[in-house]
Amino acid sequence: MGATNLFKYKLTALFIILALSFLVNPAFASQLSESQDQLNNVNSQLDQTRQKITQDKAQESQLISQIQQMDSNIASVQKEYDRLNDELKMVSSQRADTEKQLSDLQAQLYRTQQDLDSTNAKLTEQRGILNKRIQNIYENGGTSYLNIILNSSNFTDLLTRIRFLEFIVSQDIDIVEQISKTKAAIEGKKLKVEQERAAVNSKRIKLVDEEQQAKQLTDAKLVQKTALQAQLGEKQSLLSQIQSNRAANELLENQLLAESNSIAAKIRQLDNPVGGNVSPLPASYSSASGFIWPTNGPITSPFGLRMHPVFHRMIEHTGVDIGAPYGQAIVAAQDGVVLIASVGWNGGYGNMTVIRHGGGISTLYAHQSRIIVSDGQHVSKGQTIGYVGATGDATGPHLHFEVRVDGNPVDPMKYLP
């Protein structure tokens, strides 16, 4: 059973007990109506608290759903990024291959050009030899042939000498023709290499363009992924903050409910002591009228539902806050007996004092810097009981002042002048 339900059930049981006692004593009939109003008020506050917790959980659920969707989007973008990155790597590899191929072709073209230059040199040299030989024959043709005829020993020797001259000229012509063919083959090879180089370079240019486009797409996906991850981080941070705040608020609610139950139980027990050490109230303490202000200062936070200054959530304020400087005196609002004079955290109340005034009425003074009374001590209206401070859950020095009837907080402004 939750702390809020437990508190509700305790209050309901308390109301039934009070109602039975009122049936025995009709003098308390007016208190029955007031207690019923108090019970309804507490139930309304509990409903509001549950609604707030439900809203927090709904917000958490919405954020979790958004985070899951963003996780899915990031996974989808990551998948697309991986695909584009693989494509970029492939295009980059192809571009590198074409550049290597282009470099190889350039080297081959250089070697081919060297071969062509060498062949051209040989062709020029051989043509020079042939041209010179032909020129010599042309210029000295008659003398040469005459020498061949005169120097021939017989007709057969003459024919042999003539054929030898023709063979030499024929050989020169064949060499020139062979070199010319070699030159033509080298020029054809050079043309082919140049064409292949042009084709490879065209392919390289195309791959460079594809590589740039792929890189742009990959970079865009990376930017998109980074943005989504940043949004996801913000959502996760917000979710963590909401969960942390809700946990803190639920813990605070349980602490306040437990503290309220503890105070109510102790007040009911001490209002009807059985063999305890608490001093009984004199008859003069039985009146609840004539309250005075416990300290001087303006009301900075009224009784009822408010935004908590520390935990920043709507929560029931069980008293009023009176703005006052640190160390200003706090006095008893009415004659009574000190029920509680406690130093410590006290569920957020800090150093606090509770005074019983009779008739089921008590007052509480919280966040004191120092307490100067003790349990069971009789105090008079206007007597200093402590000093203003900021202990417990407080954003600054002030007095949190409560009036409780049968342990249940009521609006103190109904009792203050």
Residue 389 DSSP symbol: B
Burial class (CB in 10 A: 0-12, 13-18, 19+), 334: buried
The mean pLDDT of 195-219, rounded to a whole number, is: 82
* Structure-model confidence comparison of residues 3 and 197, the more confident one: 197
Residue 49: name the closest of 238, 252, 242 by CA: 252
48-69: pLDDT as tens digits: 665 676 677 778 888 888 888 8
pLDDT at 253: 65
pLDDT at 382: 96
Q: Which two structure tokens, joined as six digits, stand for 94?
A: 């192809």
pLDDT at 167: 65
Residue 33 pLDDT exceeds 50 = no
* Structure-model confidence comparison of residues 148 and 290, the more confident one: 290
Residue 191: name the closest of 104, 100, 97, 113 by CA: 113
Task: List the chain domain ranges.
Answer: 1-272, 279-417
The Cα–Cα gap between 348 and 363 comes to 17
Residue 375 DSSP symbol: T
User: 1-272 — its CATH code?
Assistant: 1.10.287
Q: Which two structure tokens, joined as six digits, stand for 406?
A: 């049968």
Residue 250 pLDDT exceeds 50 = yes
The contacts of residue 50 (CB under 8 Å, 6+ apart) are: 4
Residue 415 DSSP symbol: T
pLDDT at 36: 38
Greatest mean pLDDT among 14-18, 249-253, 398-402: 398-402
Rg (CA), the chain: 55
Residue 361: name the closest of 414, 286, 302 by CA: 286
User: 279-417 — its CATH code?
Assistant: 2.70.70.10
Residue 150 pLDDT exceeds 60 = yes
Q: At what angle do helices 29-151 and 3-24 cross, to 10 degrees?
A: 170
- Please give the share of the chain, as a percent, with pLDDT higher than 90: 20
The mean pLDDT of 201-209, rounded to a whole number, is: 82
pTM: 0.42
The contacts of residue 377 (CB under 8 Å, 6+ apart) are: 279, 337, 338, 341
* Structure-model confidence comparison of residues 193 and 374, the more confident one: 374
Q: How far is CA 34 from CA 30, 116, 265, 286, in A?
A: 6, 120, 19, 19
Residue 224 pLDDT exceeds 90 = no
Q: Read off the pLDDT band of 236 (50, 70, 90).
A: confident
Strands annotated E in 225-317: 299-301, 304-307, 314-317
Say how many C-beta atoms besides its own lie within 10 A of residue 183's C-beta: 17
pLDDT at 102: 75
pLDDT at 25: 39
The mean pLDDT of 391-411, rounded to a whole number, is: 90
Q: Which two structure tokens, joined as six digits, stand for 391?
A: 């202990």
The mean pLDDT of 93-119, rounded to a whole number, is: 81
Residue 310 pLDDT exceeds 60 = no
Q: How far is CA 368 from CA 181, 281, 341, 376, in A?
A: 117, 25, 11, 19
The Cα–Cα gap between 55 and 49 comes to 10
Phi and psi based region of residue 11 (left: phi greater than 0; alpha: psi -120 to 50; beta: remaining): alpha
pLDDT at 344: 86
The mean pLDDT of 169-192, rounded to a whole number, is: 74
267-302: pLDDT as tens digits: 556 555 444 444 454 544 444 458 999 999 999 999
71-92: pLDDT as tens digits: 888 888 888 878 888 887 887 8
Average pLDDT, the chain: 74
Angle in degrees, CA 314, 316, 321, rounded to 5: 105
Q: Which two structure tokens, joined as six digits, stand for 98?
A: 């074409």
Residue 262 pLDDT exceeds 70 = no
Residue 209 pLDDT exceeds 80 = yes
Phi and psi based region of residue 169 (left: phi greater than 0; alpha: psi -120 to 50; beta: remaining): alpha
The mean pLDDT of 114-129, rounded to a whole number, is: 75
Measured in degrees and rounded to the nearest 5, phi and psi for residue 385 equal: -115, -15
The mean pLDDT of 3-10, rounded to a whole number, is: 44
- Tell me the residue type at 140: N
Give the range among 45-59, 79-93, 318-332, 343-357 with minimum mean pLDDT.
Answer: 45-59
Say how many C-beta atoms besides its own lie within 10 A of residue 395's C-beta: 10
pLDDT at 145: 53
Residue 377 pLDDT exceeds 60 = yes
Q: Read off the pLDDT band of 16 (50, 70, 90).
A: very low
pLDDT at 51: 62
The Cα–Cα gap between 402 and 396 comes to 18
Pairing status of strand 398-405 against strand 320-323: antiparallel
The Cα–Cα gap between 318 and 55 comes to 23
Q: Read off the pLDDT band of 158 (50, 70, 90).
A: low
The Cα–Cα gap between 30 and 14 comes to 16
pLDDT at 286: 42
* Structure-model confidence comparison of residues 291 and 218, the more confident one: 291
Residue 255 pLDDT exceeds 70 = no
The Cα–Cα gap between 207 and 100 comes to 13
Which residues on neighbouring strands pair with residue 386, listed in sequence order?
A: 330, 371
